[in-house]
């Protein structure tokens, strides 16, 4: 769980997926006359190591290499491509093929925990083993349908992944009062220009 996931009330069970997807920040809107700076938290193996370590997902002494960073970025881009679609449209073959190819590299194994319940955990034993938590969170969230509420903001200037807590689960913007209003204002202006 991170500060951002707590602030936006993302369920704990999806906190790592949420944080991981949002390591890429494409927001470029202007708010209170200040342009939002875009950013990427995973620009180097060391940056990925720091991100994992912050979440206690990096085995001690583990070293992230460039190929490992590549695997992580493949998982992130295919995950974001999937979340960008409406939940009903996430069955797209191309999108799923890319996501499955990335997920394949993070296999899960079943084991019995001390409380005798069965748990799935990552089978990898290398420096990237901690990232398997993203796949196990996806699996659990898909089981209880909460994954359908993890979405990407519909604003082209935002594209932040958010958790839709609305009752009907039909929210399109991460913050309706900001991204939603901006989009509506733009659509209104375009309509007016068209009519003029």
Inter-residue contact 180 to 172 (CB < 8 Å): yes
User: Closest separation between CB of residue 158 and Zn ion, Å?
Assistant: 3
User: Closest separation between CB of residue 120 and Zn ion, Å?
Assistant: 32
Pick the closer one to Zn ion by CB: 64 or 82.
Answer: 82
Give the whole-angstrom CA distance, residue 18 versus residue 134: 9
Pick the closer one to Zn ion by CB: 71 or 164.
Answer: 164
User: Closest separation between CB of residue 84 and Zn ion, Å?
Assistant: 12
User: Closest separation between CB of residue 54 and Zn ion, Å?
Assistant: 24
Pick the closer one to Zn ion by CB: 90 or 172.
Answer: 172
Strand partners, 118: 112
Which residues contact Zn ion (rule: CB under 5 A)? Answer: 153, 155, 158, 160, 174, 179
Contacts (Cβ under 8 Å, ≥6 apart) of 134: 16, 17, 20, 75, 79, 106
Pick the closer one to Zn ion by CB: 65 or 176.
Answer: 176
User: Closest separation between CB of residue 162 and Zn ion, Å?
Assistant: 7
User: Closest separation between CB of residue 185 and Zn ion, Å?
Assistant: 14
Pick the closer one to Zn ion by CB: 129 or 155.
Answer: 155
Pick the closer one to Zn ion by CB: 134 or 179.
Answer: 179
Contacts (Cβ under 8 Å, ≥6 apart) of 119: 110, 111, 112, 113
């Amino acid at each position: 769980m991170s500060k951002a996931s707590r602030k936006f009330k993302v369920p704990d069970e999806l906190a790592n997926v949420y944080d991981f997807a949002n390591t890429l920040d494409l927001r470029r809107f202007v708010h209170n006359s200040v342009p939002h700076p875009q950013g990427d938290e995973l620009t180097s193996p060391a940056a990925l190591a720091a991100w994992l370590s912050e979440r206690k997902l990096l085995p001690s002494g583990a070293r992230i290499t460039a190929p490992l960073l590549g695997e992580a970025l493949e998982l992130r881009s295919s995950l974001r491509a999937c979340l960008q679609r409406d939940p009903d449209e996430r069955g797209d073959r191309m999108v799923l093929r890319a996501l499955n190819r990335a997920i394949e590299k993070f296999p899960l194994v079943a084991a019995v925990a001390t409380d005798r319940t069965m748990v799935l955990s990552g089978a990898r034993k290398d420096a990237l083993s901690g990232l398997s938590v993203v796949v196990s969170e996806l699996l659990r969230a898909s089981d209880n349908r909460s994954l359908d509420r993890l979405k990407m903001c519909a604003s082209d200037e935002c594209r932040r992944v958010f958790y839709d807590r609305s009752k009907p689960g039909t929210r399109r913007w991460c913050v309706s009062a900001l991204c939603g209003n901006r989009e509506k204002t733009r659509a209104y202006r375009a309509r007016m220009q068209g009519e003029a």
